[in-house]
Structures are given as C-alpha cells and as structure tokens.
Amino acid sequence: MSIDARPSPDFTGSPAPLPALLPVPASLPEGDFAARVRALPVLGLGVSTEYGAAFARGALDLRRLRREHPAFAQFLEVGVETVKGLDAHTHEWVAEGRPTTYHFLDVNLDDPDDFTPAWLDEVRHIVSQIRPAWLCGDAGLWHFGRREPGTMLLLPPILTAESARAQAWGLTRLRAETGLEVLPENPPGQVFVGDLHILDFFARVCEHADTGLVLDCAHLTIYQHFKGLPPLTALDGFPLDRVVEIHVAGGREASVDGYAFIEDDHTPDVLPATWEILEYVVPRAPNLRAVIFECERNPVDACLPGFARIAEILKSSPLLGGSA
C-alpha cells in the first residue's frame, strides 16, 4: 500500500497531551515523507559499530573490510550513547570523509523529560562531528528510570495505539531539534506486550510521525517466533515504501528455565526466517537506501558469506540493485 493510499489509523483512547513541537529547521526539505525521502542519499551496504566495539578481541576489522571488500563497507552506522561519545575507529572513518548514520542508544522517545537541553546539545554536537545522512534507533526503552550509565538497557515499547502516538511524538521532536530525518527501528525483546502486531504498531508510528522505518529483519524474526507466527506475517499489510534502511543479523534459539526465545546475538549465523524476510522485503521497498549486516564483533572472514548473500539479494532492490 502506498503512503498516500494508506488510511489514517483509528486511534482510540485519550492519551496524555504532549508538549508542542519546535518548528522544523530550514535544513530539512519541505514536504511529506514521500517527498522528503527522495532527498536522502543512497548509502548501499554497510556495517555498524558502537563505542569500543572495534577494539574487542576478534571484532570486525573495519580497515581491512573497507580495503579488501569496499562493497561491504559503503557506510558506517555509529551507535551513540552521548555520555561515551565517539571512539577512535569512528573518528578515523569520519576523517576520511566516509558516510555515516547516527544510531541513538540513549533516548526513550515517548518521554518528554528525556529531551533535556544538555542531551540535545550533545546530540547536535555529535551530529556536527559525523555529519550523518540521518538519525535512527530502536523505538523502545533505552533506560529505566533516569538516563545514566547504570540504567541503560533496551526493552520493546508497549504495542498499543497510544504508545505508537507517544513514540511518534519523540521522533518528530528529534527531527525538529536536529534538522535530520529520524527513523525508528523495530526493537528486539524476549517478551512483547500490547494488542498490536509489531508491524501494525510501526505502521502507526510512521504514519503519525510521517517518517520512514529501519526494518531489522532479525528483530522481526524474534517477534514472529515469540508470537508463534510465520516469518512474513503482517508484512503484506505494512507500507513497505516506508522502509529506508534494513538490518540483518545473526541470532540463535535459546532457552532459560524452559522459556524459549531467540537471542539477538549479532553473529554471522543469520536464521532462515531472517533471510526469508529480507528476500521478501528488498524487491518491494522502493525507498530502500541502506542495508547493514550487524556483525561488528566478528572476524571479517566469518562475515564474508553473509555479506555476499545480502549483496546478491540487493540486486533485486529498485535503488540498490547491483551497487554492492
């Protein structure tokens, strides 16, 4: 279904009023998402990192990957917790003028109290350093209680209409504060609560914030498994023209005290359901501009088959076909 054709969701209930938004800076193109997305660059196939990840034993060697396999390292998604800043590998990447995206790791989008002037100053400062093509991040709970290093985690949002509206508020606010597109990502989780399927939830978030989506195929596999659903459930009703970026990552089935779940372990071992989702979405996502293989803590050689398979699938992409 196209963006324009999609009916407005029927939001029920009486959510608490949220503070007014700031005007959108002049640097953001005019128009609705369907118009603005055309101004976003096509980044291709890339990798992700977060502070210190590249220093870990056995981690992905960014320099070697971009030297020997530049088609798999076309951009870097930088995971940012503002209190930590940027590590040397990210500084080196940026100093060479290479493209980035900014993946936030420290904001609860549905909480107006999280948008403190100090945090926003830090975000804008890091934006000025890495000049990302856009911001993105899992739309969930990145901390429980106050934002401070000891409370950081990631929980999925409550999957309700009211929660979708609150997440959309935060996305719109951050877009206004940075002058950049801000794309929500469907998060992982061991448990999900709420009456909406996660894809229906994010369709509402995107509609309300008038924005695009980072579809994490591995996270969607985790959710479908939790619900006991086939991998492609609800994708036929999702507006795939909202998908701007895709994540692919490995996972493994785990069990604790008899409770079975899929762990989002970011190994190169991508589950069959995740491949199935990727193969379904790529040719149907006309605005897809970036794909990441999230394998930052694994050696290059172990990741090459995954990169190669993703690159092959991207040949069916309207924008990325043949670029990797």
247 binding Fe ion? (CB under 5 A): yes
**Least distance from C-beta 214 to Fe ion, angstroms?**
7
What is the helix (H) or strand (E) element at residue 77, kind and residue range?
strand 76-80
Q: Which stretch binds Fe ion (CB under 5 A): 65-73, 106-114, 214-222, 233-241?
A: 214-222
Position 103 contacts Fe ion (CB under 5 A): no
Residue 100 or 165 with smaller CB distance to Fe ion: 100
Per CB under 5 A, the segment of 64-72, 80-88, 225-233, 247-255 that binds Fe ion is: 247-255
**With CB under 5 A as the contact rule, which of the stretches 2-10, 90-98, 139-147, 240-248 interacts with Fe ion?**
240-248
Could you give the CA distance from residue 120 to residue 114 in angstroms, rounded to a whole number?
Answer: 9
In angstroms, what is the minimal distance from the CB of 247 to Fe ion?
4
End-to-end, the C-alpha distance of the chain in Å comes to 28
- Closest C-alpha to 211, from 254, 247, 245: 245
Output the residue with the shortest Cβ distance to Fe ion: 247
Is the Cβ of residue 99 or residue 250 nearer to Fe ion in the bound state? 250
**Among 50, 77, 177, 216, contact with Fe ion (rule: CB under 5 A):** 216
Binding mask 4-43 for Fe ion (x = CB under 5 A): ----------------------------------------
DSSP-derived letter for residue 235 is: G
Q: How far is the CB of 263 from Fe ion (least distance, A)?
A: 14
The two structure tokens encoding residue 305: 């088959």
**Torsion angles phi and psi, residue 282, rounded to 5:** -50, -50
Rounded alpha-carbon distances, angstroms, from residue 181 to 45, 209, 213, 214:
19, 10, 10, 12
Residue type, 137: G
Stretch near Fe ion under the rule CB under 5 A, chosen from 155-163, 211-219, 234-242, 305-313 = 211-219
Contact call for residues 173 and 182 (beta carbons, < 8 A): no
Binding of Fe ion by 77 (CB under 5 A) = no
- d(CA 278, CA 268) in angstroms, rounded, equals 15
Binding site for Fe ion (CB under 5 A): 216, 247
